[in-house]
Amino acid sequence: MPIRVELADDHTLVRQGLRRILESHPGLVVVAEATTGLEAVELARHHQPDVAIVDVAMTELNGIEATAQILRHSPRTAVLILSMHSNERYVVRAVKAGARGYLLKDAVEEELILAIQSVQQGKSFFSPAVARIFQNGYARDVQSRKVEDRYELLTERERLIYQLIAEGNSNKDIAARLNLSLHTVETHRAHIMEKMDLHTAAELVLSAVRRGLIC
């Protein structure tokens, strides 16, 4: 089955360009195009796409707010933010809203296709430039404030589970993959959150990006 994609961008030329790229790949099909944030939410509710590619700057409802509402009406849709802004503030807000990926508009075609496939599979994807911003900022914080890297507190098994969670795997998926009980995985997850001083799944993903563990 092809990956069903919704495009949400208020620039016609951008949407047309994205459609041509995606339709040149047999494994992808565009099922809807939105020109505003509100329209993106409504079309996602109606079509239930596998992936929604959403621009940050849209009229009526910005892309980050639209992301949260899309996921409320279509929880199985993976949202990929497409933006010209590489500022960490935008990325943090997008991930907290539920976006699985953040791709810059200067990305090449192969990167776009990989991003779509990754988020559709439940993984996270960030443009290399965005990931570097997180990593550099984290490195500066550690150096300037001598912050302890809590990652060093994790056991080898906890580090593996930490990365699998950050990549979008559920507790059940991890249990099956590592041949562990669901209770054991849930216990490891609780220890990871405590040791890393994390409180939400979004914080866990962002911390993994900062450490360069996922892209």
Could you tell me what percent of the chain has a pLDDT over 90?
47
Give the whole-angstrom CA distance, residue 201 versus residue 204: 5
- Opening angle at CA 174, ends 135 and 5, nearest 5: 70
- Reading the block at residue 125, the tokens are 């994807």
148-210: in CATH 1.10.10.10: yes
Contacts of 162 (CB under 8 A, 6+ apart): 151, 154, 192, 196, 204, 208, 213
Q: Give pLDDT, residue 134.
A: 65
In this structure, what token pair is assigned to residue 140? 């500066």
pLDDT of residue 30: 95
Alpha-carbon distances, residue 101 vs 19, 95, 114, 178, 188 (angstroms): 19, 8, 11, 25, 25
Pairing of strands 3-8, 101-104: unpaired
Q: How far is CA 147 from CA 40, 62, 143, in A?
A: 41, 35, 7
Contact present, 167 and 118 (Cβ < 8 Å): no
Q: Please tell me the CATH code under which domain 3-132 is placed.
A: 3.40.50.2300
- pTM, two decimals, is 0.71
Q: pLDDT for 127-146, tens place per residue?
A: 887 777 666 655 455 455 55
Write down the domain spans for the chain. Answer: 3-132, 148-210
Mean pLDDT of all residues belonging to the chain: 86
Question: 3-132 and 148-210: same fold?
Answer: no
The dihedral through the CA atoms of 107, 110, 115, 120 has a sign that is positive
Please say whether the beta carbons of 188 and 156 come within 8 A: no
- Average pLDDT for consecutive 10-residue bins of the chain (215 residues)? 94 92 93 94 96 90 90 95 81 86 89 94 84 62 56 85 86 91 92 86 81 67
Cβ atoms of 19 and 35 within 8 Å: the answer is no
